Amino acid sequence: MLDTLRYRWNTLTQGQKIFIGGFGALVLIGLLTILGSGNTRYTNPAWLLATAAILLLALPVHEFAHAFTAVQLGDPTPRLQGRYTLNPLRHLDPIGALLIVLVGFGWAKPVQWNPRNIDIDRRWGAILVAAAGPASNLALAVLSLLLWRLLGETGFLAAFLLFFANINILLFVFNLIPIPPLDGSHILFALLPNNVQQVQFFLMQYGMLLMFVVILLAPGLITGPTTLIMSWLMGLLGG
């Protein structure tokens, strides 16, 4: 058994080994946090319901936004691959879903599209398709905060709406980080001039490692802007 596992490990690429190691460390940290946290969000029914809503609603909306934008620009690829839908089973990624439960942000299966099929400039198309997903999370957060403001700011429903809004803003910020495979990297690559392609090659090669470095060692790069945006939106709505 050990020999089989060792053989399979040796057949992995360096990037795959880095991903597995980083994900294992993240899971371990998440489990230790849960076990040592006592009465925290992991035992809060409002947070658990909000997390379920993220997995079953927000992530499918995020990926559908990518697919919808690509299709509207003339590319049928998302529709042909069955991604032009809000069905969560077509979009959920097990690892990304687990990360949302453990740390509050993660990902779904990326929507594939072909820039050669779109009707506008490919760079602008890439920016629009990439930005559509995070924009949907921000829109869901605003809608949630509007409902929180209209329906009452205390009680179970209010707590659910605030958790749902906060996680959506986390996803908005996280996905705009310009590191592959996140949406922000596609926006960055579309904006980079052709003579600095080495930057793109570097990020493509080490993107997964850099992403885990941010998640494990610098989560404030995500939670900091999230707190500012959340506070700004609540203030804007008079909360």
pLDDT > 70? residue 25: no
**Range with the poorest average pLDDT among 42-51, 125-134, 160-169, 213-222:** 213-222
Q: For position 216, what pLDDT does the model report?
A: 76
- The pair of three-digit structure tokens given for residue 164, joined into one six-digit string: 């749902």
Q: For position 30, what pLDDT does the model report?
A: 58
**pLDDT range class, residue 39, cuts 50, 70, 90:** very low
- Which has the higher per-residue pLDDT, 226 or 206? 226
pLDDT digits (tens, 9 = 90+) for 66-125: 999 999 999 999 999 999 999 998 998 888 888 788 777 778 899 999 999 998 999 999
Q: What integer is the mean pLDDT of 133-158?
A: 93
Q: For position 173, what pLDDT does the model report?
A: 96
pLDDT digits (tens, 9 = 90+) for 149-204: 998 878 899 999 999 999 999 999 999 999 988 999 999 999 988 777 787 888 88
Is 153 among the catalytic positions? no
Mean pLDDT of the chain: 85
Q: For position 32, what pLDDT does the model report?
A: 60
Letter string b/e over residues 74-95, b meaning 16 or more CB atoms within 10 A of that residue's CB: ebebbeeeebbeeebebbbeee
CB-count burial class (<10 Å; 0-12, 13-18, 19+) for 201: exposed
Q: For position 8, what pLDDT does the model report?
A: 67
pLDDT digits (tens, 9 = 90+) for 43-66: 789 999 999 999 999 999 999 999
20: Cα within 13 Å, side-chain hemisphere: 9
Q: What residue has token string 């980080």?
A: 177
Going by C-alpha positions, the residue among 59, 93, 56 that lies closest to residue 175 is: 59
Taking a C-beta distance cutoff of 8 angstroms, is the pair 23, 95 a contact?
A: yes
Q: What integer is the mean pLDDT of 135-148?
A: 96
- Pick the catalytic residue: 47, 58, 63, 108? 63
Q: How far from chain centre, in Å, is Cα 70? A: 18
Q: For position 174, what pLDDT does the model report?
A: 93
Q: For position 9, what pLDDT does the model report?
A: 62
